[in-house]
């Protein structure tokens, strides 16, 4: 397709495909739609992004692999999945890493966050921005969780993340990796006893229909990451277009964060109204039970442990 540009010359429209696993009502999808609209606007129609939601083109891991070979242009994945391709992202799987949202955003928007984004470059994936994915908490089907001891004997779905697997196992559960699209049936059929995720995802997935206990222990804050293939970035976009895509992505972050706060509060109220028992546990026992993870990190991955200390040092400014 050809387009007459502002300077009167014809240019080819760049068609980019963006695939992800979320429903179109999800605030992260809305953030990506905002980004796509802004790219189209900023480029005067020279760049068109078509979005394929709901795992139409594959799971998060599959879309990342498609990005690596240049068969897909843009995707969104959790940092927990991305750590399999860029290990520095595993830092977000460290439990109780942030003091609060302000601390988390200061890291994501600052030089530490950029350093982590840049770490995906060797995997032929360019990380553009972080989207807020809130904090992850446990939900279960048959019995409530008030304390880490209550996780013993329970099979808990996790993402395909070594960090998430170790965390759940350390806290006493039995971690079971299952793709997001298969989780509702797995909960319904008793393949797993529970899972862990943020409030909007718990609500919009309708997992609350089968998991009637939601424990807001908020163990991790693992952001979503918007990614573009290095092939598309370097070969399909010129320098000016790359700048426009990066600008639109950054502009979408503030919009998505506002939507997230609203969606998270609304999700909690909605699942309560649906009869889910929402539990606000003492977080201290969960934090204490996480200590072996910190010890293991110090012994086996000193670089990531130092990054954790660096992030926590910034957190001193945000401590109540």
Q: Are residues 286 and 179 in the same domain?
A: yes
Q: Are residues 189 and 172 in the same domain?
A: yes
pLDDT at res. 11:
65
Domain of residue 180 covers 136-221+274-315
**If you average pLDDT over residues 208-213, what whole number do you get?**
98
Q: Are residues 216 and 145 in the same domain?
A: yes
Q: Are residues 163 and 81 in the same domain?
A: no
**In this predicted model, what pLDDT tens digit does every residue of 109-137 receive, in sequence order?**
999 999 999 999 999 999 999 999 999 99
**pLDDT score of 248 more than 80:** yes
Contact 268, 197 (CB under 8 A): no
pLDDT at res. 12:
87
Asked if the structure places residue 215 within a domain, the reply is yes
**In this predicted model, what pLDDT tens digit does every residue of 249-308 receive, in sequence order?**
999 999 999 999 999 999 999 999 999 999 999 999 999 999 999 999 999 999 999 999
Q: Select from 224, 209, 222, 27 the least CA-distant residue to 137.
A: 222
Q: How far apart are alpha carbons 139 and 210 in whole angstroms?
A: 10
Q: Are residues 150 and 248 in the same domain?
A: no
In the structure, what pLDDT confidence band is assigned to residue 7 with cuts at 50, 70 and 90? very low
Contact 294, 163 (CB under 8 A): no
- CA 212, 146, 80: angle at the middle one, nearest 5? 75
Residue that wins the pLDDT comparison between 6 and 184? 184
Q: Are residues 13 and 97 in the same domain?
A: yes
Tell me the CA end-to-end span of the chain in Å, nearest whole number.
56
Contact 196, 139 (CB under 8 A): yes
Q: Phi and psi (nearest 5°) for 135? A: -115, 150
Tokens of 296: 């293991």
Q: Are residues 230 and 217 in the same domain?
A: no
Question: What is each CA distance from 62 to 36, 176, 219, in whole angstroms?
Answer: 22, 19, 26
**In this predicted model, what pLDDT tens digit does every residue of 21-49 receive, in sequence order?**
998 999 999 999 999 999 999 999 999 99
Q: Select from 257, 260, 140 the least CA-distant residue to 198.
A: 260
Q: Are residues 81 and 214 in the same domain?
A: no
Q: Are residues 113 and 231 in the same domain?
A: yes
Asked if the structure places residue 320 within a domain, the reply is no
Radius of gyration, CA atoms only, the chain: 20
**If you average pLDDT over residues 5-20, what whole number do you get?**
75
- The percent of residues above 70 in pLDDT, for the chain, comes to 97
- The percent of residues above 90 in pLDDT, for the chain, comes to 92
Listed in sequence order, the DSSP H helices in the chain are 27-42, 60-68, 79-82, 101-109, 111-118, 162-171, 183-188, 199-204, 230-231, 239-273, 284-289, 291-300, 302-315
Q: Are residues 288 and 175 in the same domain?
A: yes
In the structure, what pLDDT confidence band is assigned to residue 234 with cuts at 50, 70 and 90? very high
In CATH, what number is assigned to the domain containing residue 248? 3.40.190.170
């Amino acid at each position: 397709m050809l387009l007459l540009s502002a300077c009167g010359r014809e240019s080819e429209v760049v068609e980019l495909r963006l695939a992800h696993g979320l429903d179109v009502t999800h605030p992260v999808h809305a953030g990506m739609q905002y980004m796509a609209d802004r790219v189209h606007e900023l480029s005067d129609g020279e760049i068109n992004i078509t979005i394929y939601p709901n795992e139409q083109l594959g799971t998060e891991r599959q879309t990342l692999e498609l990005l690596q070979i240049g068969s897909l242009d843009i995707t969104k994945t959790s940092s927990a999945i991305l750590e399999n391709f860029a290990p520095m992202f595993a830092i977000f799987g460290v439990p109780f890493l942030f003091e609060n949202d302000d601390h988390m955003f200061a890291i994501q928007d600052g030089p530490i966050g950029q350093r982590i984004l840049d770490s995906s470059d060797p995997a032929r994936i360019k990380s553009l921005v972080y989207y807020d994915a809130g904090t992850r908490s446990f939900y279960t089907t048959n019995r409530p969780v008030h304390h880490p001891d209550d996780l013993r004997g329970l099979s808990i779905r996790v993402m395909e993340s070594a960090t998430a697997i170790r965390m759940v196992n350390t806290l006493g559960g039995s971690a079971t990796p299952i793709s997001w699209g298969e989780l509702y049936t797995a909960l319904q059929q008793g393949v797993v006893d529970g899972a862990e995720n943020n409030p909007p995802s718990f609500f919009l997935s309708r997992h609350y229909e089968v998991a009637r206990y939601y424990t807001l222990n908020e163990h991790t804050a693992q952001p979503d990451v918007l990614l573009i293939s290095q092939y598309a970035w370097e070969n399909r976009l010129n320098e000016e277009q790359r700048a426009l895509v990066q600008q639109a992505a950054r502009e979408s972050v503030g919009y998505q964060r506002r939507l997230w706060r609203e969606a998270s509060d609304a999700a909690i109220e909605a699942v309560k109204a649906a009869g889910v028992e929402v539990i606000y546990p003492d977080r201290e026992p969960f934090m204490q039970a996480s200590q072996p993870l910190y010890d293991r990190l110090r012994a086996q991955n000193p670089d990531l442990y130092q990054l954790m200390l660096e992030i926590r040092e910034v957190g001193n400014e945000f401590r109540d």
